[in-house]
Structure 1
Amino acid sequence: MTALWTSAAIAEATSGTASADFSANGVAFDSREIGPGDLFIALKGEHSDGHLHVEQAFAAGAAGAIVSQPVAGPHILVSDTARALDALGKASRSRTDAKIIGVTGSVGKTGTKEALYAALDRCSFGKAHRSVKSYNNHVGVPLSLSRMPQDTQYGIFEMGMNHAHELSALTRLVRPDAAIITAIAPAHIGNFANGEIGIVDAKAEIFEGLTPGGTAIIPHDSPHFQRLRKKAERHAGEVISFGFDAGADVRAIDVVAAPRAGSLVTAKLGDRSLCFTIAEAGRHWVSNSLAILAAVRAVGGDLATAGLALAEMSGIDGRGRRHLITLKSGGKATVIDESYNANPASMKATLQHFAAEKIAGRKIVLLGAMGELGEQSAHYHSALAEDILQSGAEAIILVGEDMTHTAAKLEQGLDRGVKMSHASSASEALTEVAKLISDGDSLLVKGSNYLGLSSAVSALVSGEY
């Protein structure tokens, strides 16, 4: 097996000095994630210093470390470990002939990244690489790049942002051959003085890093389509739109319900048509699938294989995975885990799909507040009430201070038989769920990540509640 990195290659990439020869097969900056043969990067953060954990990393089997001060053990000495991580990511990108896809958007980017990986890994017989988890920031992106084997054929990298100019820096590291914006929504809108237009412009920064002749893939159904297109045309050799509108380059021309909550889709891709099944539920996943097909075609992947991969996709933890749990009181219930994050667009899409689902038991929603909405927080939380009312939920549990606005609006239109409670934390909400949930019920859990609603899901799945 060829090593991912040798000490000589690391030293050359980072302009560092090697204390000894070694080879590494993985890269990590968290000493708790180090495995045998990994390279440990001792990053200095606001609240921690990786140099304090070098010994722990070597004890876990690290082959070597990148440090800014000498340590006991094989290491590469550099002046700044954060810059060294960026340099290692750039070197990894430069040494591969892989076709690279960058993915961003307010909603759907992690699921799209995972589906692209499944499709391209399948057609390349295991030669695809992607960023794991949601490693999409100034640390996660270069880390994901540095983990990419040299013989990779396809690389898929998720890129996120909270402020302007963040994506500009990330995309210049990734240098994608194709770049996708899944959708634009008022996520992090509190960080932008010019509101949603600021988000549009910040997301469009992903096109700045496109390789010459690269492909920009944008949502035709977005009200900001023309603005996105103009920005994409400055950097892309080709701009491809996707969506449900007749003018989209890649569009869904027929969508019908498929077994187990998925969709059977007929799509038009220029002069070609493709009929495929999506295992994931919801109209938003149909939209994501169109972007996925556009990207697969742009980088020379196999569309038929992509269709098979979409049919076999299972839910991602925190982003739609379904759990059939055994209740302490007896019986079974379904937990739909959307606990990773939430913004107005993803809340609406999820609740609308929940409304359309036909289930035998009751519908219960456990919804957490949406973060980073700034001065518009009250407006968006109040507006959420209408989608909750239309979801068919017979019990509603709200979590977080901002949900006060939702509760006030709900009280105006709530049916007498619907139960509603307002919890201050995930643990309080779990107590409410335990009182309510019974055999045959379906519980939807969704909220911003800072509330930690995933802990409630974990407790329900494990039975420790």
Structure 2
Amino acid sequence: MSGLPPPLWTAAEVAAATGGTPSAGFAAGGVSFDSREVLAGDLFVALPGTRHDGHAFVADARAAGAVAAVVARPVEGPHVLVPDTMAGLEALGRAARARTGATIVGVTGSVGKTGVKEALRRAFQRIAPDATHWSEKSYNNHTGVPLSLARMPAATRFGVFEMGMNHAGEIRALVAQVRPHVALVTWVAAVHIENFADETGIAEAKAEIFEGLEPGGTAILPADNVHAPLLRARAKARAARVLAFGEGPGADVRLLDAAPDADGTDIVADVLGERVACRVGLPGRHWVSNALAVLAAVAAAGGDLAEAGLALAALDGLDGRGARIRLALPGGEATLVDESYNANPTSMAAALAVVGAMPARRRLAILGAMKELGPHAPALHAGLAGPVASAGIAALALVGEEMQALRVDGATHLADWQEALAWARAMLEPGDVLLVKGSNSVGLGRLVAALAAEGRP
């Protein structure tokens, strides 16, 4: 016995899953569709793209260590020939889902889904360290979800998959592949609203996650959200059990007490009749709600609540989603709060509230435009004036045309992330806290990377 784990996919298994024709035998330990991210032993899936065809990168993938490729036309080296590589990736995902006996949790929501997914995977890793699988990064769309499924080992005990959308019907297609035993909606808010008539349409789209529940499955929803009645009605039509989390008396997982500080919150919660006391290692009221969602999902999945509490206590900020970076400056240090991955009105207000509670000589903010808000954009950008004032922001830089609607005395309007970087370099002083937040397309992540590299202690 070698003691090595079994291969993730053999040539015969890939052929059986996809209906393809293998050119040679192989054993792959992973799956990738980006030649820049290929690891030694991977199976490379050559997906078609709007700008580049994956077939053009098969040789690069092989040079990086890929043992074989899934292709729609013959190539050099071991491969499995299929009619359509995107359909082939989806077939691999379905086969991986079918062969595992894991308890699967699906997560969606307008805000909080990536953070909750990460907290859940850490909780399940404490329970089953070598048998927990999850969506990496924000692989939550039509390519990311089947890739995440295709990477799931057969011996997985707990799987956590994030699903996102910006149009109706997208989650319905994704959840049909994931087939969760537990389906969780974190929150519903005005995110991607340009593609919907109103927030009710967003709530309906998020509720599609309940349609894919396995028989006997559990639906979990936010009791304190204005759309909770709609979510509950859609959940009851599909779920054997419906759980709600929140602060009100009708919640099945209910907050009993909360003691916040600048670094997190100590909470006491009633989880289906069990009293649970733990610390949430990330600050902000939104993370209290996220923690309740995590406790509900762990309980529904049959996990250990004590381990879930320890995982919540150990949480730290994710890159682009709340990570705190120390910046060395002449005479001292400043703190950069990295929220550069994405932004919407709800997450903007939450991030500003967190920074407002942090001790600081001065609080500064670079806020980038919020995208996909359609005709609601001017009003929703203007509405950030209140949260900015409440946070006590001493100096504010605004990036992007949409931010012209936000009227704050003394704010500096900038064209792009490079101008914002120059502003930050000129403004930062020891003792300052700087929040950087905007939609990913604004490019503020590059600003964060530059500041972090320059100011590494």
TM-score by length of 1: 0.96
Superposition pairs of residues 309-388 of structure 1, within 5 angstroms: 309-327=311-329, 329-357=330-358, 359-388=359-388
Match status 1:281 vs 2:270: no
Q: 1:154 aligns with which of 152, 158, 164?
A: 158
The CA deviation at 1:456 is 0.8
- How far 1:331 moved relative to its partner? 1.8
- Write the distance in 1 (CA, Å) between the matches of 2:224 and 2:360: 34
1:246 paired to 2:246: no
Q: What amino acid is aligned across from residue 426 of structure 1 in structure 2?
A: W
| CA distance in 2: counterparts of 1:143 and 1:360, whole angstroms | 43
Percent identity over paired residues: 52
Structure 1 residue 350: Cα displacement = 1.4
Distance in structure 1 (CA, Å) of the matches to 2:344 and 2:39: 36
Question: Is contact 2:138–2:162 with CA below 8 Å preserved after alignment?
Answer: yes
Report the CA distance between 1:160 and its aligned residue. 0.2
Match of residue 437 from structure 1: 428
**Alignment partner, residue 57 of structure 1:** 61
Q: What residue number does 1:410 align with?
A: 408
The 5-angstrom pairing of residues 58-457 of structure 1 reads 58-192=62-196, 194-258=197-261, 261-327=263-329, 329-357=330-358, 359-406=359-406, 409-411=407-409, 419-457=410-448
| Structure 2 gap ranges (5+) | none
With 92-101 and 386-395 compared, the bigger mean Cα shift is at 386-395
> Equivalents in 2 of 1:53, 1:270: separation in Å?
51
d(CA) in 1 for partners of 2:386 and 2:288?
24
SS, match of residue 402 in structure 1: helix
Q: Shift of residue 464 of structure 1? A: 7.3
- Supply the AA of the counterpart residue of 2:169: H
Q: Which residue identity is paired with 2:347?
A: S
Equivalents in 1 of 2:390, 2:382: separation in Å?
14
**How far off is 1:35 after superposition?**
1.3
Supply the AA of the counterpart residue of 1:207.
F
Cα offset for 1:297?
A: 0.7
Over residues 4-60 of structure 1, what are the superposed CA-to-partner deviations in whole Å (9 max), with x where a residue is unaligned?
000000000000000000000000000111111100000001111000000111111
- SS of residue in 2 equivalent to 1:410: coil
Find the aligned partners of 2:131 and 2:342 in 1 and give their Cα distance: 30
Gaps of 5+ in 1: 412-418
Q: Deviations over 1:176-208 (max 9, x none)?
A: 00011001110000011x211110000000111
CA distance in 2, matches of 1:187, 1:344: 8
Partner AA of 1:403 in structure 2: M
Alpha-carbon separation, structure 2, partners of 1:35 and 1:446: 32
Relative distance call for 1:213 and 1:51 in structure 2 (3 A) is: same
Work out the CA distance in 2 between the residues paired with 1:197 and 1:276.
Answer: 34
Q: Within 2, Cα distance between the matches of 1:287 and 1:226?
A: 18
Q: Secondary structure at the match of 1:397?
A: strand
Deviations 1:240-275 (A, max 9, x none): 0001112111011100025x5110000001211000
**AA aligned opposite 2:398:** L
Q: 2: distance between equivalents of 1:105 and 1:112?
A: 10
Distance 2:341 2:119 in 1: 17
Q: Once the two structures are superposed, what CA deviation does each residue of 1:284-319 show, in whole Å capped at 9, x if it has no partner? A: 001001110111011111100000011111110000
What is the alpha-carbon distance in structure 2 between the residues aligned to residue 191 and residue 128 of structure 1?
35
Task: Assess if the C-alpha contact under 8 Å between 2:119 and 2:311 holds in 1.
Answer: yes
Describe the superposition over 1:389-446 as per-residue Cα deviations: whole angstroms up to 9, x where unpaired.
111011001110000000xx323xxxxxxx4211110111010111100001000111
- Structure 2 CA distance for aligned equivalents of residues 27 and 254 of structure 1: 44
Query: What SS does the aligned partner of 1:120 have?
Result: helix
| Residue of structure 2 in register with 1:415 after alignment | none
Q: Which amino acid in structure 2 is aligned with residue 315 of structure 1?
A: G
Asked whether the 8 Å contact 2:326–2:455 carries over to 1, the reply is no
CA distance in 2, matches of 1:439, 1:356: 18
Partner Cα separation in structure 2 for residue 125 and residue 372 of structure 1: 38
Root-mean-square deviation over aligned CA pairs: 1.1
Query: 1:353, CA displacement in angstroms?
Result: 2.3
Output the CA distance in 2 between the equivalents of 1:294 and 1:380.
Answer: 31
Letter in 2 for 1:353: V
Distance in 1, Cα, partners of 2:413 & 2:130: 47
